A = this chain, B = another copy of it.
Amino acid sequence: MNTSRKAAVEEFVERMGLVAEGDGLPRIAGRIMGLMVIEGGPLSFSELAQRLDVSRASISTNTRFLERLGVIERVAQRGERRDYFQLATAPYVHLLQGPVDRMMKAHAVVAHARDQLSVTDEGTRRRLDELGVFYEELGNSFRELAKRFSRDE
């Protein structure tokens, strides 16, 4: 039964890798997240490399990446030299920052275009506004979600 659990965990970790890839994150980052969701406790650098069967170099770059994002945090173990990692509090909020920035950027692109050439044609202005509202609302949704997920859970 332990073997089937192990298989299930591995499957989940792999799938989280693919999910992450779909969101534009490196696959290994997703696999790290997946493993950390399963195993709560702090995992050592080497343990990650071993369990995921991945080079230490990749663990280094991806833990730094997730750490910088705010999804995981590096913790020290008393008397241990190794680095340990665990999920940050409210880890998933930080996954929304990238999308929020992208939407703001997109909105700015549209607004800039509107300022430059809106005068000319009425239809153009209307279509630019619609597109601008789209990106704006999308950004707002992400921000609201982020607010929700920063409080609780």
Contacts and interface: CB of A to CB of B under 8 A. Distances in A.
Interface of A: 5, 8-9, 11-12, 15-16, 19, 22-24, 37-40, 87, 92, 102, 105-106, 109-110, 112-113, 116-117, 120-121, 123-124, 127-128, 130-131, 133-134, 137-138, 141-142, 144-145, 148-149, 153
A124 B117 CA distance: 55
Stoichiometry, as copies per complex, reads: 2
B137 A102 contact: no
Contacts of A102: 19, 22-23
Given A15-B109, A134-B92, A123 B40 contact: yes
A153 B133 CA distance: 9
Contacts of A92: 130-131, 134
The 10 closest A-B pairs by CB, nearest first: A12-B113, A40-B123, A8-B116, A92-B134, A15-B109, A19-B106, A37-B127, A141-B141, A22-B102, A130-B153
B137 A145 contact: yes
A38 B145 CA distance: 32
B145 A141 contact: yes
Contacts of A117: 5, 8-9, 38
